[in-house]
Structure 1
């Protein structure tokens, strides 16, 4: 069903050139005749699918666009703006340094007490993992439905 959701949403978006998530959802809901008891799951699948699918792009104006309608320069500009806003809001460099130092101290103390070593594995799969800022996605969705 998720593929149908995204196909319907994309066709709608191609015709409109841009739309709010609320408008896209209303169209998909109507097209698929989604029952009230399934709305919560389906709307979540639609939003998640749109975030992950490269055919959709959410601009800072809180409207969705077909990716083909957005220039690479616009994308770079928005990503740079978000990164700068994020850096200004959350300067965690000191916290990370403090945490690293305390971890090293604890590790040294533990090494003196025990000879057991704990290794933390890193993801070495080349599977195209993408980090998602779910708080930003949730905030954008809440703002869209409130506005």
Structure 2
């Protein structure tokens, strides 16, 4: 079961929660981990619209310290978003557990042949490569538009 695979190797004092974080935690995690900050309005609209999500709670403090989400069409196309771990909790394998959980859900619940994409900032590139993600340039490049 994906929950068990993702929990195996989760450091002591951390708990994986298979759900989106609260809006305040989401905004704080994005801001404090170095992701582009978002507004409350953006968070409130985005969080219920994902295909799957997970966050990590540091049990002694009760603080949400990591998260990741999948958005997608449920059939063949999915995009990994909001991968974040607070700096004081990095280098403990939390990002790896978050990504493992999300990918295990896809392997279990979607038809074979799913296409999974992400935008990899510098610090996350090694993590994503370990999970099989590969740079597709020059065949294809990531493009974006901010409205």
TM-score normalized by the length of structure 1: 0.28
TM-score normalized by the length of structure 2: 0.28
| Structure (1/2) with the larger helix percentage | 1
Bigger CA radius of gyration: 1
